[in-house]
Amino acid sequence: MTEVMHSLSVERAETLSEADMADLCEATDAAIIEGGGFGWVAPQGRAALTRHFGGVLLVPERELFVARLDGHVVGSAQLVRPARNNEAQAWAAQLTHAYIAPYARGHGLARMLVQRLEERAAALGHRVLNLDVRETQATAIALFEGLGYIRWGTHPAYARINGRTVAGHHYYKTLEPVRGRPTEALFPQDP
């Protein structure tokens, strides 16, 4: 039996070519249809998704990361930084809209995607990364918990999917800085 070697990569996208945008839209709709990783519950089509991702690239507090399998975009995630006027929460960022298309799973891309986003957040000086996920997304929950994210709460009425109320879990992970004091030193100590 011959083992097929695939090219895997994750990068921060500042622009998207026409081909990359087409791949991203296809991957996004596939993930939506499968029920994972995005706030939409129905596929949006290329025109709507092109507008969406074009807008993401314009927002200064958002960074888009794309995962590639054999050169094709097959998933993405976004790093959302607090607004500049939110100094009190400037040390924390949000990981959102993370997914890999169903046809590209099983290669470790989701783990690579999250880890690359964590590295970028730490390099920007963030010490905490927050995220939330629907309770129905068991694979994503296993991924995040396996990467050390700590569930701090559950919102019982987090989302409505096909007429059904679904709970959502909230997570955080502390990030170690590229330089400076360890993150642990910034947390209050137990009495």
Using CA atoms, how far apart are residues 92 and 112, in angstroms rounded to an integer? 21
Tens-digit pLDDT profile for residues 62-76: 999 999 999 999 999
Residue 39: pLDDT band with limits 50, 70, 90: confident
Taking alpha carbons only, the member of 130, 136, 105 closest to residue 38 is: 136
- Between CA 80 and CA 145 the distance in angstroms is 20
Give the whole-angstrom CA distance, residue 69 versus residue 182.
35
pLDDT value for 37: 63
Helix (H) or strand (E) holding 134: strand 128-134
Higher per-residue confidence, 81 vs 90: 81
Question: Predicted confidence band at 86 (pLDDT cuts at 50, 70, 90)?
Answer: confident
**Domains identified in the chain and CATH numbers:** 8-183 (3.40.630.30)
Query: What strands, in cross-sheet order, belong to the sheet with 92-100?
Result: 8-13, 62-69, 72-80, 92-100, 128-134, 164-174, 150-161
Element counts in the chain: helices (H) and strands (E)? 4, 7
Of the listed ranges 55-59, 86-90, 111-115, 147-151, the least confidently predicted one is 86-90
User: In which band, very low, low, confident or very high, does the pLDDT at 1 lie, cut at 50, 70 and 90?
Assistant: low
Task: Collect all residues with Cβ–Cβ distance below 8 Å to 107 and sequence separation of at least 6.
Answer: 6, 8, 69
pTM: 0.90
How far apart, in whole angstroms, are the C-alpha atoms of residue 137 and residue 120? 25
Token pair 């989701």: residue: 110
- N- to C-terminal Cα separation, the chain: 60
